[in-house]
Structure 1
Amino acid sequence: MAHLLVIESWVEGTGRLLPETLKRLGHEYTFVTRNETHYNDENTKEIHPIFLNAKCTHVLETNNVEELIHSLKELHSKEKFDGVLTICDYYIDTVAQVAKALKLPQAFSDNVSNERHKHYVREAIETAGLPNAKFFVTRSWLETKESADKLGYPLIVKPSDLASSAFVKLVHSEAELKQAFEDLETFTHNFRGQAREPLWLLEEYLSGEEVSVEAVTYQGKTTVIGITDKSVTGAPYFIEDGHMFPAALNSTLVKKIQEYVVKVLKAVGHNHGISHTEIKITREGLRVIEINPRPGGNYIAELIEHVTGINMLDVHVNLATNVEPDLSSAENKKGSAAIKFLVPPSKGKLKTLQDKNSLDSNEKILRWTMKDVCGLEVDDPIDNACYLGHVIAQDLEGLRAREIAETALAKLKLEYA
């Protein structure tokens, strides 16, 4: 049994799965956060699993790495940690620095700081001579405007250092570009209170199907677990509203995607850890959208386990404790599993969500969860934080899990006050 140090977490998705994973594997953990209330739902009295399963919780300033390392050295001398991890994008680099300072194993690559910044990934792919989206990195409005004119509209504006598709926007004109620029300019700190890097990443708009490649790298060797499909709500924002594993692709294309991603991971220096690489299949060929050096969010880890038996969070924990993960069942895929999210169409005050009973009577729905929407005020949906709930479906015989999930969710009726 190991005693792990967990520094911050996601609130939903893998944030709820990790505590139970650690408990099931027989490990204990100490949780460190700067803000306990971040994990509370003001609409319920539920205690988040990250607190329920922790050996203890310490409130420390996780946004000041130097101060955090000083505090954790004292804590480590008393409690003796065996490894350090997180699953929250905003603290991956923090974990890497803490692990180095405390001489502890961790689940990320040596180059994880660069992997976390989208413009560094673009530059590394370009340097390696691999197929890449056209892009510009800018730091002022004049530079942004001039770069957009060179790139041409429509184009994508995105931050380099955020997650969950936040502030990723498709723009068609200089006026829309100016608005997107100003939106990011005024967003000086991310959702965890960390100062943002003041730059804008402009990319050509890539048309085509989007998938993600789930892989594990151990001591420099990468094993591709499979490919997940993705659906998004569409412009101007790109909110992920569904996934299926494995994606319904022909074997030739699957091989091309896998080979491309392995080359890209090598180019960016990814030598250890799980990777969730988003790929666009365009007419011109394969292009990277971004690389995430951690398990895929939005319960993708759960979908993978239903199909392969491989628990990606188990793998993540193993990597953080220097244990080689068993990936032998990656080739033994059985059927498909899918998730579909309920996204509110617009802002407003919600009244009811009808026909939830239909989910209970559907034997192909493995589980579902929905918020109590009565009287709930919602904002315009602009990123993945807007979800009101989700359903997870399975097709043991083939690749119809997405269709099953979408049909089930379509029967629900969301009403505004």
Structure 2
Amino acid sequence: MAHLLMIESWVGASGNLLPPLLHSLGHTYTFVTRKPEHYQSAHSTEKHPVVRYADSVLVAETNDSAGLIKLLQPYRFDGVITVCDYYIEIAREVAKAFSLPCPFPDEVKTVRQKHLMRQALDRAGLANPSYRLAHSLPEAEEAAAAIGYPLVLKPVDLASSAFVSLIRNEKELQDGYEALEAFPLNFRDQERDCTYLLEEYMSGEEVSVESVSYYGETAVLGVTDKSVTGTPYFIENGHMFPAKLSDEARTEVTQFVRDALKAVGFDHGIAHTEVKLTAEGPRIVEINPRTAGNYIVELIQRVTCVDLLQAFVELSLGKKPTIATKDDGMASAAVMFLVPPQSGTLARIQGLESLESDEHIVRYKVDNCEGRSIAAPIDNACYLGHVITQDREGSNARLYGEEALKRIILSFENKGAEA
């Protein structure tokens, strides 16, 4: 049995799955957070899993790595872990300070910072979309003129598609830029790098490649599909594993990702690499140095019997994870998210009873949010629920999920601002 240091967490998805997994494996952990109330739902008295399963909860300023390292001197841990993007670099610093294992490579900043990733791909001679960096509105306008509309405006240091916008004209560029300028701190109160990345809009199907690396040895688990909604935003509303691709396309995208991981120095840890399949070939969207969110790890486990979160734990303890897929008779698995179509007060949710009797749904969760004020959907934090579906015969898991959500009807008291 090992004792881990967990530095913050996501509230959803992996943040819910990791704590009970650690418990089931016989491990304990100290959860350190600067804001325990961040993990307490306003609509439930039940403690969040990261708090409920913790051996102890330490309240400390997790945004100050030097202060955190000093505070942790008297404690003893067997490894350091986090599933929250905003604390990956801090977890790496803490692990290094105490000579502890963690599931991230030395060069993790190159992956976390989107512009550094683009520059590393350039140096390796790998294909990139056309892109420019800007630090002011005039620079952004100059970059847009060089790239051409439509384009995508991205902050270089946020996660979960936050403030990533499709820009179709000068007015949208100004609005997107001003929205970012008005957001100097990220969602965890960390000072942002106000460098703006402008990229040509890449047309094509988007997929992600899930991989595990152990000191330079990389195993690819497979390719997951993705659908998005909420234009001009990029809200992920569903995934299926494995993606419906030809063998040729799967081989091409997998090799491209292997080359990209090598280019950015990602030689240790789990990577969730997002790729656009353009007419000119695969292009990297982002490389995430962690397990995939949005319950993709569950989809992979249902199809391959490989638990990526367990592999993540093993890496956190300095162990080489065993990645051996097994055919358990499941052809595909999918997750579809309930995305509100607008803002406003949600008066009623109808159709939930239809989910209970659907043989293709293995589980679902819909928040009890009737009477609540719902914000306009702009990123992945907008979800009101999800369904997990599976198909033993073929690649219909996504279709089953889409059909299930069509039966859920959201009624609003007021029109609000449509997405």
Scaled to the shorter chain, the TM-score interval is: over 0.9
Aligned partner (choices 292, 295, 299) of residue 299 of structure 1: 295
2:257 corresponds in structure 1 to 261
Moved over 3 A (4+): 330-334
Could you tell me which residue of structure 2 aligns to residue 55 of structure 1?
Answer: 55
- Deviation of 1:349 after TM superposition, in Å, equals 0.1
The equivalent residue for 1:41 is 41
1:21 aligns with 2:21: yes
Name stretches of at least 5 consecutive residues in structure 1 with no aligned partner: none
CA deviations over 1:310-357 (Å, ceiling 9, x no partner): 111000000011111111217888300000000000100001111101
Contact 1:116 1:291 in 2 (8 A): yes
- Aligned mates of 2:67, 2:324 — CA distance in 1: 42
CA offset at residue 44 of structure 1?
A: 1.4
- 1:234 positional shift: 4.4
Partner SS state of residue 73, structure 2: helix
1:72 matched to which residue of 2?
Answer: 72
Contact 1:308–1:333 under 8 Å retained in 2: no
Corresponding position of 2:2: 2
Give runs of aligned pairs for residues 330-349 of structure 1, distance below 5 A: 334-349=330-345
Give the aligned residue type for 2:408.
Answer: L
Who is 2:416 aligned against?
none
Does residue 166 in structure 1 map to residue 177 in structure 2? no
TM-score, normalisation: structure 2: 0.97
Equivalent residues in 2 for 1:341-380, closer than 5 Å: 341-380=337-376
Mapped contact 1:225–1:330 kept (Cα < 8 A): no
Shift of 1:198: 1.2
| Contact 2:163–2:378 under 8 Å retained in 1 | yes
Contact 1:342-1:388 within 8 A present in 2 as well:
yes
Matched, 1:143 2:139: yes
Moved more, 270-279 or 106-115: 106-115
Residue of structure 2 in register with 1:180 after alignment = 176
Partners of 1:65 and 1:325 in 2: CA distance: 28
* Paired residue secondary structure (1:337): strand
Quick one: which of 230, 233, 238 aligns to 2:226?
Answer: 230
1:319 to 309, 315, 322: 315
In 1, the alpha carbon distance for the partners of 2:388 and 2:341 equals: 21
Structure 2 CA distance for partners of 1:394 and 1:331, relative to 1, 3 Å:
closer
Hey, what does 1:108 align to over in structure 2? Answer: 104
Distance (whole Å) between structure 2 residues aligned to residue 378 and residue 145 of structure 1:
33
Structure 2: where are the runs of 5+ without partners? 414-419
Q: CA separation in 2, counterparts of 1:88 and 1:272?
A: 17
Q: Which deviates the most, 231-240 or 54-63?
A: 231-240
Distance in 1 (CA, whole Å) between partners of 2:273 and 2:358 is 32
Q: For residue 412 of structure 2, what is the aligned residue in structure 1?
A: 416
Q: Secondary structure at the match of 1:230?
A: strand
> In 2, Cα distance between the equivalents of 1:348 and 1:290?
32
Q: SS of the residue aligned with 2:309?
A: helix
TM-score normalised over the length of structure 1: 0.98
Cα deviation digits, residues 231-267 of structure 1 (max 9, x gap): 0004200000000000011111101010000000000
- 1:127 partner amino acid: R
Looking at structure 1, the residues matched to 91 and 302 of structure 2 have their Cα atoms a distance apart, in angstroms, of 29
Distance 1:195 1:129 in 2: 32
The size of the alignment, in residue pairs, is 413
Report the residue type matching 1:406 in the other structure.
E
Please say which of residues 29-38 and 136-145 is displaced more in the overlay. Answer: 136-145
- 1:388 paired to 2:380: no
- Alignment partners' CA distance in 2, 1:345 and 1:278: 25
Structural RMSD (CA): 1.0
- The separation in 2 between residues aligned to 1:135 and 1:25, in whole angstroms, is 45
SS at structure 2 position matched to 1:368: strand
One-letter amino acid matched to 2:63 = N
Letter in 1 for 2:366: M
C-alpha distance in structure 2 between counterparts of 1:296 and 1:11, whole Å? 14
